[in-house]
Structure 1
Amino acid sequence: MPYTLLISYDIADDDRRSEISDTLAAHGARVQYSVFEVTLPTKKAVQQLRGTLRKLIDRDEDQIRLYLLPATVLNELVILGDRRLEERADFWIV
């Protein structure tokens, strides 16, 4: 049974924020600047992601919230507006 989570974060440091963003992007879709929808196959995978995120934050300065969503929530999802986020693309200026 897959687990769907809505994960939001407020990270004080740019380097930590980037690392957390990259970690979450490897597991799901960015739906707002600091919000991801993540679907993981098992409870163990959820626990592993939580552990990884816990290691990346500064507990005194940062906060990550993980909301476990019911299986049916994506079927009932309503999106207002057509704006899409563009993922950060690294580039070189020569």
Structure 2
Amino acid sequence: MPSAPPSKSYYLVCYDIEDTKKRNKLAKWLLNYGIRVQKSVFEAYLTAAEAMEMMEGARPWIGEGDSLRVYELTVESYENKQVIGTPLEHLPWNNLIV
């Protein structure tokens, strides 16, 4: 009997990187894991292992005075988000049919 796929969670990923070159490289890295919803904010739908991989892979671009923050969201908190302006409706990815 095949095992169930790992469960996924929603994540809000925010960064503040002073150096432009490092900031651009980090943003490019994060595109492997999520969708950019603002200049320094991404939303992602990942397993816990993928989230750890994303954070560990980001370390080279986080210097003194920089930060990367990753918040795990509940389905309810993600679905109840409030947006003023143009909403980007791209999640939940668990309903995506390929």
TM-score by length of 2: 0.73
Shift of 1:75: 2.0
Shift of 1:83: 7.3
Shift of 1:30: 1.1
- In the comparison of the two structures, how many residue pairs are matched? 82
Shift of 1:34: 0.6
Q: Aligned match of 1:71 in 69, 75, 85? A: 75
1:54 maps onto 2:59 in alignment: yes
Aligned counterparts of 2:73 and 2:86: Cα–Cα separation in 1: 23
CA RMSD, aligned part only? Answer: 1.7
**What corresponds to 1:39 in structure 2?**
45
Aligned counterparts of 2:33 and 2:79: Cα–Cα separation in 1: 20
Shift of 1:7: 0.8
Shift of 1:73: 2.3
Aligned counterparts of 1:74 and 1:67: Cα–Cα separation in 2: 11
TM-score by length of 1: 0.76
Residue range with higher mean Cα deviation, 9-18 or 72-81? 72-81
**What corresponds to 1:90 in structure 2?**
none
* Gaps in structure 1 of 5+ consecutive residues: 85-94
Determine if contact 1:5/1:37 at 8 Å carries over to the other structure: yes
**What corresponds to 1:9 in structure 2?**
15
* Gaps in structure 2 of 5+ consecutive residues: 1-6, 89-98
The structure 1 segments of at least 4 consecutive aligned residues displaced by more than 3 Å after TM superposition are: none
**What corresponds to 2:25 in structure 1?**
19
